[in-house]
Structure 1
């Protein structure tokens, strides 16, 4: 007597949707980059030293010579300065994002990612999310140092947290610029140089360190419509710190809205360009 066995087919796993796969893959890549950062602690340490040096140098070297709202008090300038230092710190993370992506490209890691069934934009999104975590840590340490040198907030904790959220959003937006630079150069060294060279005019032709009304008349509109200036001014208002002289420029009248619009616009434009460059660079 012959026994006939029947094999019950195993149902195929349901494929994940495009958005859920992209989110999951991005978090996996972000975790990989965060683990890498913990194994190379000098990356975090050196990232903390530079902004701390800026705080100390600007506070004590230039603090008594800057005229803010008719006052040359070092304490007034320290409170005026800190929003600019915070913003400069989050945007300077752009160079690290670009160098990291360029390093992955140079070592062939991107080719290994391509062999996996993962969303194409996940590599870049994961990298920028990991950089956002590192930037958050840097901001926490920098805020503690700022409090030690005399910086204070005057509008309460909720508005201060909103200011830090705007800073992190600006840093995340600029990290996509760094991603595009990292994909466009051949070496990590070039990505580091390319990520910094354009940041100096962006941060210094702004209201970060001086009142823009004291600049030459032809330079004032550039500083006032600078996305960097909008976030700095918004943070000063939310922190309750001294701000720049009144201006008719729309970003200075409504800096919180201007900061949000600029940051989201930068994310949309440069994320689109970065993902497109990523696809063409790895074909």
Structure 2
């Protein structure tokens, strides 16, 4: 009796090419936006804490501008607002990997990685989704600050630069969070890593206080802090009618390079995940 041998299964390779990448990115981004719309409380919770910081710190430390050596302007609320926007971007993006962990736990990630889905689109769609949230939340924070009396000499251009800085920071740390999720595969580990990274970055910056009033080493460390790059670029463009554009573009360039490197590393993390799955 002859044995009938089944033909070998064709391997499924990820689709390539710019049109495929863009199409997959759009579809996957819309998938995450629809999920967010079904649970709007999650978006609201990410917004409530920064607004509390804006309201409380703006009132509690409004006289800090009178301290000799403070170089952040004459209104603490105006000084604080860009820091709160960037803080919101950092904290929100640090949780980006939770969606990857949910997809792993439900088996969705394995199905996506065995399909022709573009690997780059899987990562970039997450970064775009987080950036869209940052965009909307930034406009809300700026609106609340304006209602509280803050006025920004940078005008629309300053707002756009602050948005760009916040969205670049979001893309960077969303990629880092996604990579950590792919490697750790554990929600508790991701939460611990997020707290370990975000809190020091926030306090080792000028988000809440002018670093010229801090210990000298804080200002030195802040120069290499991506969070500080976003704060400096956004604040300089938003608060000044004649900003130092060379300084603004330099810090935005640092952020863009940082985002590209972390995005590439996060995409490579898919290979590690697949080999150990």
The TM tier, using the shorter chain, reads 0.7 to 0.9
CA contact (8 A) 1:25 1:118 kept: yes
Closer, same or farther in 2 for the Cα pair 1:261/1:73, shift >3 Å?
closer
CA contact (8 A) 2:183 2:272 kept: no
Counterpart residue number, 1:270: 262
Q: CA RMSD, aligned part only?
A: 2.6
Counterpart residue number, 2:182: 183
Closer, same or farther in 2 for the Cα pair 1:231/1:255, shift >3 Å?
farther
Measure the CA separation in 1 of the matches of 2:67 and 2:231.
Answer: 15
CA contact (8 A) 1:166 1:260 kept: yes
Counterpart residue number, 1:77: 76
Closer, same or farther in 2 for the Cα pair 1:150/1:29, shift >3 Å?
same
1:144-175, CA deviations, whole angstroms, 9 ceiling, x for partnerless residues?
Answer: 11112222111322232222222222222221
Structure 2 residue ranges without an equivalent (≥5) = 1-14
Closer, same or farther in 2 for the Cα pair 1:218/1:63, shift >3 Å?
same
Measure the CA separation in 2 of the matches of 1:69 and 1:224.
Answer: 22
CA contact (8 A) 1:27 1:126 kept: yes
1:157-194, CA deviations, whole angstroms, 9 ceiling, x for partnerless residues?
Answer: 22322222222222222211111122122222332332
1:28-60, CA deviations, whole angstroms, 9 ceiling, x for partnerless residues?
Answer: 111111100001111111111111111011111
Structure 1 window deviating more from structure 2 (114-123 vs 51-60): it is 114-123
Measure the CA separation in 2 of the matches of 1:71 and 1:204.
Answer: 17
Closer, same or farther in 2 for the Cα pair 1:134/1:95, shift >3 Å?
same
CA contact (8 A) 1:95 1:193 kept: no
Measure the CA separation in 1 of the matches of 2:189 and 2:174.
Answer: 16
TM-score (norm 2): 0.85
Measure the CA separation in 1 of the matches of 2:230 and 2:68.
Answer: 20
Q: Tell me, what secondary structure is at the counterpart of 2:209?
A: coil
> Displacement of 1:241 after TM fit?
5.3
CA contact (8 A) 1:63 1:75 kept: no
Counterpart residue number, 2:90: 91
CA contact (8 A) 2:72 2:79 kept: no
- Note the 1:86-125 alignment, pairs <5 A: 86-125=85-124
Counterpart residue number, 1:13: none
Closer, same or farther in 2 for the Cα pair 1:261/1:155, shift >3 Å?
closer
Measure the CA separation in 1 of the matches of 2:67 and 2:77.
Answer: 10
Closer, same or farther in 2 for the Cα pair 1:64/1:22, shift >3 Å?
same
Structure 1 residue ranges without an equivalent (≥5) = 1-15, 243-251
Counterpart residue number, 2:159: 160
Structure with bigger gyration radius = 1
Aligned length: 260
- Note the 1:204-283 alignment, pairs <5 A: 204-240=203-239, 254-283=246-275
